[in-house]
Structure formats: structure tokens, C-alpha cells
Copies of this chain bind each other. A is one copy, B any other.
Amino acid sequence: MRRERGRDRTVTDARQTIGRVAVIGTGVIGRSWVEVFARAGCETRIHDRDQAQIDRALAWLDEDLDLSVAGGWLGAGEADGIRSRVSTHSELEDALAGADYVQESGPERLDAKRELFRALDGSAPSAAILASSTSTFDMTVIADGLAGASRCIVAHPTNPPHVIPAVEVLPGASTDPAVVSRTMNFLRQAGQVPVLLRKYTFGFVLNRLQAALVREAIDLVESGVADVEAVDTIVREGLGLRWAIMGPFVTGHTNADGGLREYYGRYGSSYRALIQALDPAAPAFDGEMIDRLSTATEGLVGGATVADLLRWRDDMIRRIRALKSQHPGA
């Protein structure tokens, strides 16, 4: 049972694509990537300029693997295998030796990222992909002027990536399309859910969506509409239950028998009124916009009817609520 849970749901095998990974920078994000890659079967070489940071990362990894074994997510042998694939290196060059893929998770400052990428491009094997965990910067700028700009790419995880799978992948202006597809494939094989973005914007998608909700949450509390507990409860026992199953477009699609097209068509004006209460420069909800979004959402759900989707969603939400009532938390 234990081994099966681990084998089915957590451990993957990405060695066919990428045999050796270097993780550069071992803070909260870097150490979590170490677990992702070593769990995926990759030899994982880690480096940080700060030896104490490496020590903390290894101690964290050790504890997290113990917890995963205790929780039935990994077999004891699998945890040992993961530990055996991780090695630490005080010299950057040693960590990069033979790497097929490098995941940079250093300090979130542009000058630091640019300097580090210069060093990575100078020392990593020429075929290695150089990926950055940056949540802020455009790879076009980070890799500007590098000989190896074509192999540089953003792979921004959701914190922490060893638990939450979505990864935002965004090439820079010079990134080779083959690097994009190899990165997407590798992350998928490593058990993540890579999502390709088309264009740089400050905060990418995940943090912009999050900030939009947090901004409104703070405003509701500060203006006295609801307290912190009320706002958190409405997300946790309301919106979040739907969004763990379906994103905002498919959620809208399930709000009317005729899908998003009918929903936005019928409620477009009240949607617009509400959105304009938040933002006077809100989208117009005109027929063409509704058509574009609806066509894309219909493509996304494929042949599933709204009734099929609702039946599945309701069952899934009941299951999640049952989990939450069985494990009421800290």
C-alpha cells in the first residue's frame, strides 16, 4: 500500500530526458526542487554560496522524506534512493559538471540573476538547459548578451514545487523552441504541470491572479466589510473548493446549461457592473470577447457536457470536504 501510493502518485522517472540536474541556490524554493528532481530519478547536484544554507536544505530534505515515508507517500527504499541521488558541491563548477538541466533559484535581484546566468552559461555543458525560478524577471533581460541565451528559460514554480505542480514556463526572446519543448517535457516527466506563457508581464500569471484576489481581500477587511476570518473562510469553504477542481473559465462554463457562452451572454452586464466596481477600466464583455473566451473554453472541456462536469465536480468537492473533515488540521 505504502509503496504503491508512492509509486503511483509521487515518484516519476524523468531520466530518459534528463539524467543529471544541477540546483543552484538552496533556499525554500531550491530545496523543494531538489526533492522534485531526485524523486524523478535524476542525479541532483546542489550548490549554494552559503554552506549553512546547503546544510539547512539537506536537513529539511531529510525531515520531509521521513514525513513522506510516515505518511505513506513514499516507501522507505524510495526515500533512500532519493537521498542517494543528491550530492552537494561547494564549487559552482563541480555542481554543473555533466548537467543536462540547471535550475537556478538564487536571490530575486536582477543584477544577481544576470551575474549568476553569466557564470552558468560559462561553466555548464553546452547542451544543458539553464532554467530560472525567477518570479519577477524577463529571461530576455536576464540572458541579454549571453552566448548561450538560446538555452535560457524561466521555469517559475508554485511554492513549494515538491507538493504543488503548476510551473510557469516562459522563454526569452532568444530561447530556442527546442529548449522550450524539452523543458516542458522534462517538467512533465518529473511530475509537475508546466504551463507555457506567451508573453512577459510583471508577476507572470500566478502572482498576478493571486495579487488581484489579495488586493480585494485586504480592501474588504480594511473597509470593514468583513474580518480576516470571514474572508479566509469564504475562500477556503467556497471559492477554493471550486478552484482546486476547475479554473475560472471552466467554473464559469459550468454556471449555465449553455456553458460560458450563455453565462457571459446572459450575465455579462452584471459581471461587467461588478468588475467595473473593482476597476473602471474593466473589459467590455462585448460579443467578440465572449466568443473568443467561450470558444477556447469549449475546446478545453472537449466533449464533456456541463451536466457531466457538474456531476464530476460535485463528487470531487464532496471528497475534498470529507478529507478536510477527517483531517481538520493544525
Interface positions of A from 229 to 262, Cβ below 8 Å from B: 229-250, 252, 255
Asked whether A222 lies within 8 Å of B283 as measured between CB atoms, the reply is yes
Q: Which partner residue on chain B sits nearest A308 by CB separation?
A: B330
Q: Which partner residue on chain B sits nearest A298 by CB separation?
A: B228
Asked whether A212 lies within 8 Å of B278 as measured between CB atoms, the reply is yes
Asked whether B211 lies within 8 Å of A278 as measured between CB atoms, the reply is yes
Query: Inside 8 A of A282's CB, which chain B residues have their CB?
Result: 215
Say yes or no: is A119 at the interface (Cβ < 8 Å to chain B). Answer: no
Stretch from A47-55, A126-134, A191-199 at the B interface: A191-199
Asked whether A199 lies within 8 Å of B211 as measured between CB atoms, the reply is no
Of B9, B67, B243, the contact of A244 (CB 8 Å cutoff): B243
Decide: A330 near B312, CB < 8 A? Known: A9-B322, A235-B248. yes
Q: Which partner residue on chain B sits nearest A219 by CB separation?
A: B283
Asked whether B232 lies within 8 Å of A236 as measured between CB atoms, the reply is no
Q: Which partner residue on chain B sits nearest A217 by CB separation?
A: B248
Asked whether B166 lies within 8 Å of A237 as measured between CB atoms, the reply is yes
Query: Inside 8 A of A207's CB, which chain B residues have their CB?
Result: 274
Asked whether B316 lies within 8 Å of A233 as measured between CB atoms, the reply is no
Stretch from A18-26, A82-90, A91-99, A157-165 at the B interface: A157-165
Query: Inside 8 A of A249's CB, which chain B residues have their CB?
Result: 217, 228, 231-232
Say yes or no: is A293 at the interface (Cβ < 8 Å to chain B). Answer: yes
Of B158, B218, B232, the contact of A246 (CB 8 Å cutoff): B232
Say yes or no: is A224 at the interface (Cβ < 8 Å to chain B). Answer: yes
Query: Inside 8 A of A67's CB, which chain B residues have their CB?
Result: 311, 315
Asked whether A325 lies within 8 Å of B9 as measured between CB atoms, the reply is yes
Of B205, B220, B240, B252, the contact of A240 (CB 8 Å cutoff): B240
Query: Inside 8 A of A216's CB, which chain B residues have their CB?
Result: 208-209, 212
Asked whether A209 lies within 8 Å of B201 as measured between CB atoms, the reply is no
Of B221, B224, B236, B304, the contact of A293 (CB 8 Å cutoff): B221
Query: Inside 8 A of A315's CB, which chain B residues have their CB?
Result: 67, 71, 327
Least Cβ–Cβ distance between A309 and chain B, in angstroms: 5
Say yes or no: is A73 at the interface (Cβ < 8 Å to chain B). Answer: yes
Query: Inside 8 A of A274's CB, which chain B residues have their CB?
Result: 202-203, 207-208, 211
Known: A222-B283, A316-B327. 11 other contacts (CB 8 A): A67-B311, A108-B270, A197-B225, A210-B248, A217-B249, A231-B247, A234-B247, A240-B242, A279-B279, A309-B330, A315-B327
Query: 7 closest pairs, A vs B, by CB?
Result: A232-B247, A240-B243, A166-B238, A244-B244, A228-B296, A304-B330, A212-B216
> Which residues of A approach B to under 8 Å, CB–CB?
5, 8-10, 67, 71, 73, 108, 136, 158-160, 163-166, 168, 193, 195-250, 252, 255, 270-271, 273-275, 277-279, 282-283, 289, 292-293, 296-297, 300-301, 304-305, 308-309, 311-312, 314-325, 327, 329-330
